[in-house]
Amino acid sequence: MASVKRIGVVGGGAMGSGIAQVVAMHGIDVWLYDLNPQALSSASNSVSASINRLVSKAQLSHAEGADALKRMRFTSNLDEFREADFIIEAIVESEDIKKKLFVELDKLAKSSAILASNTSSISITRLATSTSRPHQVIGMHFMNPPPVMKLIEIVRGADTSDETFAATKALSERLSKTVITSQDYSGFIVNRILLPMINEAFFALYTGVATKEDIDTGMKLGTNHPMGPLELADFIGLDVCLSILKVLHAGLGDNRYAACPLLVQYVDAGRLGRKRGIGVYDYRKEPKSMKS
Ligand code: NAI
C-alpha cells in the first residue's frame, strides 16, 4: 500500500484523542470523529493541553506543536473519512457497537483503506466479518496513554493479509512505537496477562487480605511496577477492565478469568475510575498537586 497520508480516528475518548495526537505529531493529517460533540470538545482541549505541556518542557518545539495542531481536524461528520488511507477505531468496548461501525466504515472508506481496531480484547476476526474486506482489517492496540507508551500490539485476524500487516507495522514504526504481534485470541498478549493480575488484586481487597494501599505498594515496591494494580485499574477504567475480563472468561472458558464481585459492584455503582473522579480510590479528595 502507498504511504499513509491521511488517517481517520473514530472515538474521541482517552485513547482516540491520544492516538490522533500521536499521528499528528508524526506529520500525518488526522481527523478525529466522535458522535458526542462534548467528547470532541474535551478531546480538543486535552490534545491542546498535552501539546502545550510538551512545548513548555521543550520536548517539542513551538513550530512542531503548531504543526501538530494544524494537522488535526475534529469532526462529527464521518463522511470526511472517505479520503482516509487508514482508519483506527477507538470507540466503546462493545462488539455489537463496533461491528455496526465497521459496517458503516466499510461502506464509506476507499477500497484500499485499512480498517484497524484499538480494541483491548474483542476478536478482530469477528469484527472483520462485518466488512467486505476482512483481509484489510487488523488490530492496532495502543497502550494508555498513547503519546507516552512505546508499545503497539498488532493483532492479526484469521484473514488479515500480509500486506495489511506490513502496512500497519510500517505505520506503527513511523509513529516511533515498538511492535509486538499477537494472534487473535482473547486478550491478545498484554491484557491476557495483565487483567488476571488486576482481578486478583480486587479479590485480595474483596476478601480482606489487605488494604488497597498495601496491595498497590506491595506490587510497586515488591515487583517494581510503576503503578499498583488497583491504581492501574482506575487509570484504565473499571468498566474497561470488566469488559476485558468478560471477553477473557467467555473466550478462554476458564473460571480464573471470572470478574471479582467487588469490581462488578464498583462498575454498577458508576465508580469507573479516574475518568469519573472515583473508582477504587476517591480522586475528588486529592489535593490538586497530586492530580496528573
Ligand atoms: P472512552 O470511553 O474514553 O471513549 C470512547 C469514545 O467513543 C467516547 O468519546 C464515545 O462518545 C465514543 N463513541 C462511542 N460509540 C461511538 C460510535 N458509534 N461512533 C463514534 N464514537 C463513539 O474509551 P477509551 O478508554 O478511549 O477506549 C476506547 C477503546 O480503546 C476501547 O475499545 C478500549 O477497550 C480500548 N483501549 C482502552 C485502553 C484504556 O486504558 N482505556 C487501553 C487500550 C485500548
Q: Flag whether pLDDT at 111 surpasses 70.
A: yes
Across the range 228-252, mean pLDDT stands at: 95
60-80 tens-digit pLDDT: 999 999 999 999 999 999 999
Closest CA to 114 of 173, 167, 44: 167
SS3 157: coil
Based on the domain organization, do 140 and 207 belong to the same domain?
no
The C-alpha atoms of residue 191 and residue 189 are separated, in whole angstroms, by: 6
Q: Are residues 195 and 175 both part of a single domain?
A: no
The number of folded domains in the chain is 2
Q: DSSP letter for 282, please.
A: B
The yes-or-no answer on residue 120 being catalytic is yes
Q: Which residues pair with 140 in a beta bridge?
A: 154
Predicted confidence (pLDDT) at residue 8 exceeds the cutoff of 60: yes
Q: Per-residue pLDDT for 175 more than 50?
A: yes
- pLDDT, mean of residues 159-185: 98
Q: How far is the CA of 275 from the centre of ligand 1 (A)?
A: 12
Contact 195, 241 (CB under 8 A): yes
Domain-located, residue 195:
yes
Give CA separation, 166 vs 42, 157, 178, 288, in Å.
Answer: 33, 14, 14, 44
Nine cell digits for residue 95: 462488539
- Residue 134 backbone phi and psi in degrees, to 5: -60, -25
Q: Is 95 considered catalytic here? A: no
Global ipTM: 0.98
Ligand 1 binding pocket (C-beta < 6 A) is: 10-16, 34-36, 39, 90-93, 97, 101, 118-120, 141-142, 144, 236-237, 240
* Closest of 232, 234, 147, 129 to residue 190, by C-alpha: 232
pLDDT of residue 286: 63
138, 86 Cβ separation under 8 angstroms: no
d(CA 52, CA 66): 9
CATH assignment of the domain containing 73: 3.40.50.720
Q: Which three cell numbers stand for residue 69?
A: 495542531
Would you state the pLDDT for residue 292?
Answer: 41
Cell of 76: 462529527
Nearest atom, ligand 1, residue 119 CA = 32
Detail the DSSP E strand segments found in 79-227. Answer: 86-89, 114-117, 137-142, 151-156, 178-183
State the Cα–Cα distance between residues 48 and 69, nearest whole angstrom: 7
Query: What is the percent of the chain where pLDDT is above 70?
Result: 97
Domain's final residue, options 183, 217, 237:
183
Q: Are residues 263 and 198 in the same domain?
A: yes
Whether 120 and 84 map to the same domain: the answer is yes
Cα gap 194→141, rounded to integer Å: 14
pLDDT (0 to 100) of residue 43: 97
Asked whether residue 197 is assigned to any structural domain, the reply reads yes
Let me know if residue 239 belongs to a domain: yes
- Same structural domain, 81 and 163: yes
Taking each helix axis from N to C end, the angle separating 190-206 and 238-252, rounded to the nearest 10 degrees, works out to 110
The predicted structure's pLDDT at residue 92: 92
Closest CA to 126 of 280, 38, 33, 250: 250
Tell me the per-residue pLDDT of 13-62, one tens digit each, with 9 for 90 and over: 999 999 999 999 999 999 999 999 999 999 999 999 999 999 999 999 99
Element (H, E) at 6: strand 6-10
Do the domain assignments include residue 166? yes
Q: Is 135 among the residues known to form the active site?
A: no
Q: What is the pLDDT of residue 3?
A: 83
Going from the Cα of 142 to the center of ligand 1, the distance in angstroms, rounded, reads 12
Is the pLDDT confidence value at 168 over 80?
Answer: yes
Q: What is the mean pLDDT of the chain?
A: 95
Q: Please state the rounded mean pLDDT for residues 114-122.
A: 94
Only one residue has cell 487480605, namely: 209
pLDDT digits (tens, 9 = 90+) for 180-225: 999 999 999 999 999 999 999 999 999 999 999 999 999 999 999 9
230 and 126, same domain (yes or no): no
Q: Is the per-residue pLDDT at 1 higher than 90?
A: no
The domain boundary, picked from 183, 209, 238, lies at 183
In the three-class reduction of DSSP (H, G, I as helix; E, B as strand; rest coil), residue 98 is classed as: helix
Residue-level pLDDT at 157: 97
Residue 36 CA: nearest ligand 1 atom is 11
CA 79 to chain centroid, in Å, comes to: 23
pTM reported for the whole predicted model: 0.91
Closest CA relative to residue 126, chosen from 158, 171, 97, 149? 158
Range of the domain at 230: 191-280
Nearest CA to ligand 1 atom 13: 91
Ligand 1 atom with the shortest distance to the CA of 18: 26
Q: Would you say residue 1 lies in a domain? A: no
Q: Which of 93, 121, 141, 243 is flagged as catalytic?
A: 141
Last residue of a domain, which of 118, 153, 183? 183
* 23 and 152 in a common domain: yes
**What is the per-residue pLDDT for 125?**
97
291 pLDDT above the threshold of 80: no
Across 252-266, average pLDDT: 96
Which residue among the candidates 50, 130, 186, 191 is catalytic per the annotation?
Answer: 191
Query: Could you tell me if residue 285 is inside a domain?
Result: no
**Are the C-beta atoms of residues 199 and 260 closer than 8 Å to each other?**
yes
Same-domain check for residues 90 and 110: yes
